[in-house]
């Protein structure tokens, strides 16, 4: 069998268990696919030798009686995760040459489960961006293109490399991070499934921090079932991470039924403001699918949604300003060349000016400003109060509904470079996703159809805290009824 990289995780698992294929064979096909897809710039580091060794070890484990869900499954890893002995740069010049001696908790759990690392994936620098254009490696390109138009399309951001790699069948699954929509938005843009679990469900240890109270790890997959399989392995309590929840991890795959009888799904009226006709029609179609699955669909209100984006763009840069203060050119990464007479202050200034890209510098300056004396109360404190009100909106909504259905993005993916001169339009790409991070809730994006220009469109389901099983089940109901099977036409 050729093109084993096109398999879903569930299908590959079944074939491996039946002895129909080996992990090495699947891994070899993935490595060939990666080598042939240089035009996408999705993989920025390929660990071929390591991948083959891990695949052979997985095959031996299976011979010895192990049959874990991810045993022998080749995955891609966002460059934000620290991977022992493998370059981990967060797509930033300031981390040039950084090779961590330790493994992030999430990737360590994947390797313990027998998964195979194919390499590291492109992203926006320090996860700051919605288009994967802010990367020291250069932009990642989506495998999708508009019908009849060869112009390159963004895969979304910041986890653009993860989304593009899964959509182009370079790997069976990938991991990303989501601070304001950085898993769900790229998933919607590329026709993949992406879930951001509840804040605290997955450990953040070994993930380069952007905004510590918002960041959360999650998987990209080809199907909802695959997301359930990956998330179960990624999740769990980590005593080394004080924000990691000490709660049991359900068997998310076993909970999948697609039967929503007795469930109530809310449609927030505030999300209709400024919505394009195409996305609005998709939303109505998704609601009808949930009704067909047995759910009662009702209108709800989330009145503080309109303040979410400005609150997010105060809180996230403030936390980034604090987190990125550690990059000074002293201990690791890039250090600027100094002139005679330069002291430590000049070293800090030159190193950070050279090492950080324009978007990171912009957010660090905003964050420093809103945390400064005289402005803290007016900006940062007010944003935290808004965050509490947004969380209260969701708490009140979940008193009457089990999940919430919304668009994932306002529109299909845009072309690379099209929004570079319009920061507001770029930031508005996250308008439907940031509320979920501010409230710490689980959210998933599921592909439902194609736009008039032939690009994927997705809807988002938002669940109650620790309600990933219910969100995945509702997502399965959508997936089954949408029957989304479109694949990008190969041009690379």
- How high does pLDDT run on average in the chain? 97
Active site residue 78: yes
Beta bridge partners of 220: 174, 194
111 lies in some domain: yes
Say if residue 1's pLDDT is above 60.
no
Catalytic choice (88, 131, 142, 158): 158
232 lies in some domain: yes
How far apart CA 165 and CA 141 sit, in angstroms, is 10
Average pLDDT of the residues in 124-145 = 98
Evaluate whether 472 touches 255 at the Cβ level (below 8 Å): yes
Please report which helix (H) or strand (E) contains residue 313, including its range. Answer: helix 308-323
Residue-level pLDDT at 275 = 84
123 lies in some domain: yes
Domain count, the chain: 1
Say if residue 136's pLDDT is above 70.
yes
Say if residue 444's pLDDT is above 50.
yes
In which region does residue 115 sit, left (phi positive, over 0), alpha (psi from -120 to 50) or beta (all else)? beta
Token pair listed for 186: 């790229």
Average pLDDT of the residues in 329-339 = 93
Residue-level pLDDT at 420 = 85
DSSP 15-53: HHHTTSS-HHHHHHHHHHHHHHTGGG--EEEE-HHHHHH
How many angstroms separate the Cα of 191 from the Cα of each of 142, 164, 179, 315? 11, 9, 20, 30
Active site residue 158: yes
CATH of the domain at 224: 3.90.1300.10
Residue-level pLDDT at 162 = 98
Residue-level pLDDT at 61 = 98
Omega of the bond leading into 283 within 30 degrees of 0 (cis): no
Say if residue 53's pLDDT is above 90.
yes
Minimal CA–CA distance to 473: which of 281, 263, 287? 263
365 lies in some domain: no
205 lies in some domain: yes
Catalytic choice (78, 120, 196, 222): 78
In which region does residue 212 sit, left (phi positive, over 0), alpha (psi from -120 to 50) or beta (all else)? alpha
How far apart CA 416 and CA 419 sit, in angstroms, is 8
How far apart CA 15 and CA 424 sit, in angstroms, is 47
Please report which helix (H) or strand (E) contains residue 363, including its range. Answer: helix 358-371
Task: Find the range with the poorest average confidence among 27-41, 127-141, 331-345.
Answer: 331-345
> Which tens digit of pLDDT belongs to each residue from 230-288?
999 999 999 999 999 999 999 999 999 999 999 999 999 999 887 888 999 999 999 99
64-70 own/partner pairs: CB under 8 Å, 24+ apart: 66/114, 67/17, 68/113, 68/114, 69/9, 69/13, 69/113, 69/229, 69/232, 69/233, 69/253, 70/9, 70/13, 70/110, 70/113, 70/114, 70/115, 70/229, 70/230, 70/233
272 lies in some domain: no
Domain extent, residue 79, equals 4-256
Evaluate whether 425 touches 287 at the Cβ level (below 8 Å): no
Q: Please provide residue 35's backbone torsions phi and psi, each rounded to the nearest 5 degrees.
A: -65, -35
> Which tens digit of pLDDT belongs to each residue from 145-191?
999 999 999 999 999 999 999 999 999 999 999 999 999 999 999 99
Residue-level pLDDT at 492 = 97
Percent of all residues in the chain with a pLDDT value above 70, rounded to a whole number: 100
Minimal CA–CA distance to 247: which of 234, 237, 239, 233? 237
Q: What is the dihedral of CA 111, 114, 117, 121, to 10 degrees?
A: -70
Catalytic choice (5, 104, 182, 445): 182
Residue-level pLDDT at 31 = 98
Contacts of 207 (CB under 8 A, 6+ apart): 80, 81, 82, 104, 106, 177, 215, 217
Average pLDDT of the residues in 212-226 = 98
426 lies in some domain: no
Q: What is the reported pTM?
A: 0.97
125 lies in some domain: yes
How far apart CA 33 and CA 81 sit, in angstroms, is 23
């Amino acid at each position: 069998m050729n093109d084993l990289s096109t398999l879903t995780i569930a299908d590959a698992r079944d074939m491996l268990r039946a002895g129909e294929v080996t992990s090495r064979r699947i891994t070899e096909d993935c490595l060939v696919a990666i080598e042939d897809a240089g035009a996408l710039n999705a993989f920025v580091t390929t660990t071929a030798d390591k991948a083959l060794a891990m695949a052979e070890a997985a095959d031996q484990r299976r011979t010895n009686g192990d049959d874990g869900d991810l045993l022998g499954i080749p995955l891609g890893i966002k460059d934000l995760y620290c991977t022992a002995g493998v370059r981990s740069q967060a797509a930033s010049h300031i981390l040039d040459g950084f090779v961590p001696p330790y493994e992030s908790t999430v990737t360590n759990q994947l390797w313990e489960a027998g998964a195979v690392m194919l390499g590291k994936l492109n992203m926006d620098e320090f996860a700051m961006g919605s288009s994967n254009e802010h990367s020291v490696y250069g932009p990642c390109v989506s495998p999708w293109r508009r019908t009849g138009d060869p112009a390159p399309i963004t895969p979304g951001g910041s986890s653009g490399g993860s989304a593009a790699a899964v959509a182009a069948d370079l790997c069976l699954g990938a991991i990303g991070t989501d601070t304001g929509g950085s898993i769900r938005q790229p998933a919607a843009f590329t026709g993949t499934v992406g879930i951001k679990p509840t804040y605290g469900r997955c450990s953040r240890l070994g993930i380069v921090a952007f905004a510590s109270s918002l960041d959360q790890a999650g998987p990209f997959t080809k199907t909802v079932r695959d997301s359930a399989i990956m998330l179960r392995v990624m999740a769990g309590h980590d005593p080394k991470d004080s924000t990691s929840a000490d709660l049991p991890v359900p068997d998310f795959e076993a909970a999948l039924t697609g039967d929503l009888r007795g469930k109530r799904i809310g449609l927030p009226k505030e999300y209709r403001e400024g919505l394009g006709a195409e996305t609005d029609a998709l939303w109505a179609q998704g609601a009808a699918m949930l009704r067909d699955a047995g759910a009662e669909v009702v209108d709800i209100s989330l009145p503080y949604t309109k303040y979410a984006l400005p609150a997010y763009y105060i809180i996230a840069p403030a936390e980034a300003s604090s987190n990125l203060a550690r990059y000074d050119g002293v201990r690791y990464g890039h250090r600027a060349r100094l002139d005679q007479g330069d002291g430590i202050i000049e070293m800090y200034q030159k190193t950070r000016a050279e090492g950080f890209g324009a978007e990171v510098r912009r957010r660090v300056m905003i964050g420093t400003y809103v945390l400064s004396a005289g402005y803290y109360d007016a900006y940062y404190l007010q944003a935290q109060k808004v965050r509490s009100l947004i969380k209260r909106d969701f708490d009140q909504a979940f008193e009457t509904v089990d999940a919430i259905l919304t668009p994932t993005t306002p529109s299909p993916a845009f072309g690379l470079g099209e929004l570079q001169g319009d920061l507001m339009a770029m930031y508005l790409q996250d308008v439907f996703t940031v509320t979920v991070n501010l409230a710490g809730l689980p959210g998933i994006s599921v592909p439902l159809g194609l736009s008039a220009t032939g690009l994927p469109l997705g809807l988002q389901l938002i669940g109650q805290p620790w309600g990933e099983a219910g969100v995945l089940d509702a997502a399965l109901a959508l997936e089954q009824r949408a029957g989304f099977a479109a694949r990008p036409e190969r041009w690379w």
